[in-house]
Amino acid sequence: MANYSWLRVVLAVVAGLIPVVVLLAVLAATGAVSPWLVGAVSIAGLMVGFIAAAIVAADWQRRAEHIEAIAEALEARQAPPHVVRENRDAIGRAEHRLLDAADSIIAEVESLTDQRDEFEAILRSMTEAVVVTGTRGEVVLLNGAARRMFALEAETDYTGRDFVELCRDPRLQDFVAQAMRDATEVTSREFMIQNPAQRHLAASAAPVRMTHDGAWVLVFHDVTQLKAYETVRSDFISNLTHELRTPLAALYGYAETLMQGVEDSDTQRRFLRIIDRQARRLARLLDDLISLSDLERGNTPLQLENLEAPSVIGEAAELMKVAAGREGVVLEVQCGESLPKLLGDHDRLHQVMVNLIDNAIKYTPRGGHVTASAREASLNGNGKATPAVALAVSDTGEGIPERDIPRLTERFYRVDRARSRELGGTGLGLAIVKHIVQLHQGALKIESRVGVGTTVTVTIPAAQSPS
């Protein structure tokens, strides 16, 4: 480019000198001027022409390099250099206009880049899965939540692929197909998919008008946990209604009978004892419900203090000795020596031990044994072991089937409903125990063998030593 411009300038200079040189040559041939003068003038003219050509070519070269620098900066999405002299010629004005246009383009590119970064940051932070598809159902973009929901590989680029490659569940495919048919309305639906995992999804699809073609924004919210909560709530209300109806029906029935008149005094006393027992059962149920609600909502913060494990177990065992004697069950306390102190709430841990011992006594036949014990233990968490004390209650009762053990801490769950009601249980004892243990950052473990017995172990962190 530079050599070509230089050659054009030189040819222009030479072409301008040719008439003068021809004229001088004619004059020299007629003897009007000296040949030496013709040669001197020709050489001087060529030298001056070459110097002028060099200056013009150098200026052109500089401007060409500057324009190339502007083009390279635009290709790299960078601001171009602004070192331009105030030239009033056409090329100077063109350079200034080019720089103004380049600045405008760079500013627009930077604005679009910022908007894209913000959009990507919003997509990444969203918990909902977002997929944008084109007119033919091809994937335009998707966020990380969509990759996790549909178990997609993080490194794979799905741009341009058909939506069916993301998830092949027929319900999801039907939803996307219907959304694309209703191109002018927002479509929403809840459904369950089986692939790649069983989930309840709340999906919505909205059409988006773009420059050339249309697109759809598909948003999927995983409501599986919410559905599980709704099921738990429904089951809780159903169980609670059933639990309340039983003692209330007994109270209503026997009270109505007494009001109609019962002449036999023994029958009257028997009915009154039943009313008293059902009223106490209803009171216990309400107390347990209030206690469980307070624990779940954090309305009763723990009053932590250093406690002696033998003292916690001894107080609960002493309270339950009368009940154990009445049921013909031997209640023993076994505590190791030199146990570390517990860091816990005295009243709450007392409630835990009373509930565990009470359950053990209820489900242990006459002549059986219930043992409350304490030993040194540890809690494993965050890759390290924390000193703790394990409080355990073991019985020689009928035991619990292995399949039922994981559900024992659910509210109102009973292995044998008829027997549990007969024994006066509310079905909330282990649920209360679980929440108290969790508030203490401890662990609850239930071990049982049918026909052998059950052991419930509560592990509570130990208090820090004075050192």
* pLDDT tens digits, 38-50: 677 777 777 777 7
Q: Which CATH superfamily is domain 126-222 in?
A: PAS domain (3.30.450.20)
The residues, any chain, with a CB within 8 Å of residue 393's CB and separated by 6 or more, are: 353, 356, 357, 359, 360, 370, 371, 372, 373, 455, 456
Residue 392's pLDDT band (cuts 50, 70, 90): very high
> Residue 418's pLDDT band (boundaries 50, 70, 90)?
very low
The pLDDT score that the predictor gives to residue 465 is: 59
Stretch 236-240: mean pLDDT:
68
Confidence band for 419, pLDDT divided at 50, 70 and 90 = very low
Pick the CATH number of 304-461 from 3.30.70.270, 1.10.3720.10, 3.30.565.10, 3.40.190.150: 3.30.565.10
Residue spans in the chain of domains classed CATH 3.30.450.20: 126-222
> Where in the chain do CATH 3.30.565.10 domains reside?
304-461
Task: Tell me, yes or no, if the pTM score tops 0.85.
Answer: no
Split at pLDDT 50, 70, 90, the class of 436 is: confident
pLDDT tens digits, 25-40 = 777 677 666 777 767 7
Under the banding of pLDDT at 50, 70 and 90, the label for residue 120 is: confident
Please give the pLDDT value at position 82: 63
Q: Provide CATH 1.10.287.130 ranges for the chain.
A: 228-297
pLDDT digits (tens, 9 = 90+) for 170-180: 888 888 888 88
CATH 1.10.287.130 fits 228-297, yes or no: yes
pLDDT tens for each residue of 309-364: 889 999 999 988 988 888 899 999 888 778 888 888 888 898 889 889 988 898 88
Q: How confident is the model at residue 64 (pLDDT cuts 50, 70, 90)?
A: confident
Overall average pLDDT of the 151-164 stretch: 86
Predicted pLDDT at 467:
43
Can you give the pLDDT at residue 371?
Answer: 92
Lowest average pLDDT, out of 9-18, 216-225, 253-262, goes to 9-18
From 24-33, 197-206, 383-392, the region with the lowest mean pLDDT = 24-33
For range 136-150, the mean pLDDT:
86
